[in-house]
Structure 1
Amino acid sequence: MPNRLGISSMSLGRAWAGHTMEEKLSQAAAHGFQGVEIFFEDIEYLAGSVPGEELPAEQQIHAAKIIRQLCDKHDLTVICLQPFLFYEGLKDRSEHSRRIEKLKIWFQLVKILGTDLVQIPANFLPAAEITSDVDVIVQDMIEVANMGLQQDPPVRFVYENLAWGTYIDTWEAMWEVVEKVDRPNFGCCLDTFNIAGRIWADPASIDGTVPNADAALKESMERLVQRVDVNKVFYVQIVDAERLDTPLLQGHEYHVASQPPRMSWSRNCRLFAFETERGGYLPVVDIAKVIFQRLGYEGWVSLELFSRTMADPGPQTPREHAMRGSKSWKRLKQELRI
């Protein structure tokens, strides 16, 4: 399958205050995007505007139908529904059961949206609430994978490490889970921000990097080529981030006491690749070359941007972000010759 361009719909949802789904989707399509990731928040936000006294699940289903109609109108494919948050490793097993019941609704939503993918990001609840026991995490993932296989058509799950994940914060830790789950419908997402943002960068340090950053990244990429089965990479996210003028510590404008610095950085400071004039500095191209050229990945590529800039209520905001993303993708294709 040739590489196809998608954009994360966090760029489409609540973060873009004052802009309708129609505006956001039309701008994505107009600037060459072929697909979108739909966030569950998009569905919840739209469901809240649906008139009537339907039950929440029915409202969500109604909202998903509206989103699907808009995507069909603009010839956009829904890449996945995400994020199925705070699932794996819960110590409170009654809460685990509630998550499983929620997933049953998600199975209906993905079918309506026309996708077969649900993304599960690594759990970042406090350590007191989740276990570090990989066996428990794996069994939780086997449970959802088996449920997905029983659907018609089957539903796939894409697991993603987060740079601020409580335990699964590197691609290596994520891949260990994928290997042990060992189900055909359970794979992963490789995200340049979450890879570089953990092994190479540190927004809380003076120079924005970890000690021996280049060597650590090189060694990690060699392991990735040797270990990862490209058939288990269900899609890829390409994104950069700003180098901050001062460390993201207490007193910094983006600091949130309840969040790890990398999470606060992620929420405010992501950039599209090649936006060095805006402060982009992660080794995005180096990682992308490994994924596309050495690992041989072909498939959906999403530009997952979280940024304070998306909160701008101005009418130009969706268009500006779509233009920036399109420019970034064209440059990346030239750089990688894909």
Structure 2
Amino acid sequence: MSLGRAAVHELPEKISQAARAGFKGVEIFYEDLEYAAKAYGAITPSSLYEAARTTRKLCDANNLKVISLQPFMFYEGLTNREEHQEKIKTLKIWFQLVKILGTDLILIPSNFATENVSGDMDLIVQDMIEVADLGLQENPPVRFAYESLAWGTYIDTWERSWEVVQRVNRSNFGSCLDTFNIVGRVWADPASPTGKTPNADEDLKISLERLRNTVDIKKVFLVQLVDGERMQSPLLEGHPFHVDGQPPRMSWSRNARLFPYEQNRGGYMPVVDVARVILKDLGYRGWVSMELFSRTMWDPQPSVPSEHAQRGIRAWDKLQTELVLPKRGML
């Protein structure tokens, strides 16, 4: 389960409720560690390491495995190479954080910056080879899961991110497949009156067939499973979720994700079709994370962490039943 960014609800409560609901693992957001590090004074490598130790103890006490640390953002394709070197320095701090947390996986979302970033695939691949090779030098090695965001500036489809994975060609560099970002790019459009792209069904069918026939499932390091809410009006200027300069799909993602099977809350995307290809047809057997972002998580009511955890586990149970998946603790 993804616990989301630190906000109204404290990390200990979110971890506790995830465990009570029956989840076996959690993704940790770097922002959660920064938030916890403030308790030790300024945010420094030392305070971050202490926050990671505290988080690991909480997870261990609740029998939860840390799946990954994320998101290592705005990394690839930077045209300012001094800024790139600063990112590499930060990455070396992350290497220590994942060791403390007890995971070996860092998630890198595709860059969605609109300035000082290049779409040159050779540069993007070069940058990813650099982090992969640095990760291989760690003991134990650190792995990277690269995820295409539906609003990525240049890498916005699973096909483009898969091309990067193939060209990097390192054992510790793989893909994160996210149902929201896959369907949210090729099938859904929150800025459209229909909520869909013009050729949504056919385009998704073709994309899933390509996924089925192209992807080496051994190079998929993480799967994230989540739906999205159908907007009652197009997410354009004047919509409550609209933010100037922010892509509609990003605004939608931050406010209106849902768990699968929540049509009663407005869920409408065929994310189970994607899950079927990945989990059933391709036989993926790694971690599956229910990665939810939603305005509902900012509700200060104390019951919110429990409610979200219970919703997430119900969705997973329904998926296991529908797809006839083996009962396994990969959440």
| Residue of 21, 40, 53 corresponding to 1:50 | 40
Matched, 1:14 2:6: yes
One-letter amino acid of the counterpart of residue 19, structure 2: A
Choose 39-48 or 19-28, whichever is displaced more. Answer: 19-28
- Give the alignment of 1:119-134 within 5 angstroms: 119-126=107-114, 128-134=115-121
**Aligned with residue 322 of structure 1, among 291, 303, 309:** 309
CA RMSD of aligned residues (A): 0.9
| 1:108 matches 2:102 | no
Query: Equivalent residues in 2 for 1:157-236 (5 A)?
Result: 157-236=144-223
How far apart in 1 are the matches of 2:127 and 2:172?
14
* Secondary structure of 2:292 counterpart: coil
Matched residue, 2:299: 312
- For 1:50 and 1:23, the matched residues in 2 are separated by 20
Q: Does 1:31 align with 2:21?
A: yes
Distance, in Å, in 2 between the alignment partners of 1:242 and 1:21 is: 26
SS at structure 1 position matched to 2:67? strand
Aligned-partner Cα distance in 1 for 2:113–2:189: 20
TM superposition shift of 1:191 = 0.5
Looking at structure 2, the residues matched to 139 and 212 of structure 1 have their Cα atoms a distance apart, in angstroms, of 34
Cα distance in 2 between the residues matched to 1:93 and 1:175: 25
Give the match's secondary structure for 2:150. coil
Counterpart AA for 1:164? W
For 2:50, give the aligned amino acid: H
- Aligned partner of residue 223 in structure 1, secondary structure: helix
Residue 3 of structure 1 corresponds to which residue in structure 2? none
The correspondence for 2:67, drawn from 79, 91, 95, is: 79
Scaled by the length of structure 1, the TM-score of the pair is 0.95
Q: Distance in 2 between matches of 1:50 and 1:21?
A: 16
Of residues 271, 280, 287, the one that matches 1:293 is 280
Quote the offset at 1:120 in angstroms. 0.4
Which residue is 1:261 aligned to? 248
State the Cα distance separating 1:281 from its structure 2 match: 0.3
The TM-score with structure 2 as length reference comes to 0.97
Q: Deviation per CA, 1:216-267, whole angstroms, max 9, x where unpaired?
A: 0000011111111000000100000100100000000000012100000000
SS at match of 2:66: strand
Shift of 1:9: 2.0
Q: Secondary structure at the match of 1:81?
A: strand
| Alpha-carbon distance in 2 for matches of 1:212, 1:90 | 33
Aligned to 2:225: 238
Displacement of 1:20 after TM fit?
A: 2.2
Q: Does 1:283 align with 2:270?
A: yes
Number of paired residues?
325
User: Percent of aligned positions with the same letter in both sequences?
Assistant: 61
User: 1:72 is matched by which residue type in structure 2?
Assistant: D
CA distance in 1, matches of 2:287, 2:119: 31
Aligned to 1:9, the other structure's residue is in SS state coil
CA distance in 2, matches of 1:315, 1:86: 33
How far apart, CA to CA, are the structure 1 residues paired with 2:193 and 2:263? 19
Match of 2:329 in 1: none
- How many angstroms does 1:36 deviate by? 0.4
Separation (CA, whole Å) in 1 of partners of 2:214 and 2:90: 33
